[in-house]
Amino acid sequence: MKLTLGFSPCPNDTFIFDALIHHKIDTEGLEFDVFYDDVETLNHKAFAGTLDITKLSYHAFAYAADKYALLDAGSALGFGVGPMLISKTSPQPSPKNKELSFGEYVSHLTSQISHLRIGIPGKYTTANFLLSLAFPQATNKQEIVFSKIEDALLNDEIDVGLIIHENRFTYQNNGLKKIIDLGDYWEQQTGCAIPLGGIVINRKLTSDVQLKVNRLIRKSVEYAFANPKSGLDYIRSHAQEMSEEVMYKHIDLYVNKYSINLGEEGRRAIDTLFAKATEERIIPPLPSGLNLYVTE
């Protein structure tokens, strides 16, 4: 049986799926036709129900949950992994250099960035959800492919950039400054890990196939952890010329215990995200009685 599979060319995804798509594990009779796209393109493919299995932003999952169920394996959640707002200049100092609490600092920033042009990596990214949660008045947004946001800042096409993925490790090389880590905001608000992206499977597939795919992705992650350099050439071939050091920093940041199994803690973080997003009317209410997860 052949299934269509979409994920990003970023190191965390290629690290996770290397063993699966290159048959380093027993795929139990399944074959995969792979599509590589940036996360916002994958989000829109999920809205259309194009792929059998796909990576998508957790924010976007709210709009595709009627078509897809969430697998326990393959997700990107964690602490200290959030998107960051950056600019060419540091934020203005607090009034009279007063020492501000984190909450006061967020309020202080609101007046500074609410009127600025903000480059975001996509409307339906979890990064944009966190931005909307922290700064609901910041509405002057421009959608830019995540890898082009730093260039847009340097060329003065935007005033502030919302960065994700490996740009966390490279923005300072271009003289850019951090304004705020939105992951810190989420963690202080909720105490939960940040749900960034997950792997979903089409609800039209049988329960047996859904469970098999979940099992295989888990085994693929476990193989990658046991053999971290096994997929190096494959990861590098999709890694936009980043150094091996940056590639593995990226992997270490986004691939962790939640990538093997969400567990109770991971599911609680996801449920919290949807509850907050619904409460703030960032997403519409989910269909009543809908089970988000693939279950036995």
Enumerate the active-site residues. 165
Please, are residues 118 and 152 in contact by the beta-carbon 8 Å criterion? no
Given a contact cutoff of 8 angstroms between Cβ atoms, the answer to whether 237 and 22 are in contact is no
Tell me the three state secondary structure of residue 50. coil
* 56 annotated as a binding-site residue: yes
Query: In whole angstroms, what separates CA 59 from the centre of its chain?
Result: 9
Dig out the tokens for 242 from the structure: 């980043």
Across the strands, what pairs with 232?
none
Strand-strand pairing, 68-70 and 194-202 = antiparallel
Is the distance from CB of 194 to CB of 82 less than 8 angstroms?
yes
Degrees, nearest 5: CA angle 66-221-33: 60
Phi, psi of 135 (to 5 degrees): -135, 75
Any binding-site annotation on 127? yes
Give the H or E element holding residue 267: helix 263-279
Residue 126 labeled ligand binder: yes
Find out whether 139 is annotated in a ligand binding site: no
Strand order in the sheet with 160-163: 141-143, 118-120, 160-163, 84-87, 177-181
- Whether residue 283 contacts residue 93, with contact meaning beta carbons closer than 8 Å, is answered with no
Q: What gap in Å lies between CA 196 and CA 45, rounded to an integer? A: 17
Confirm whether residue 57 is marked as ligand binding.
yes
Q: State the Cα–Cα distance between residues 27 and 98, nearest whole angstrom.
A: 59
Q: How many helices (H) and strands (E) would you count in the chain?
A: 13, 11
Binding residues for substrate: 55-57, 126-127
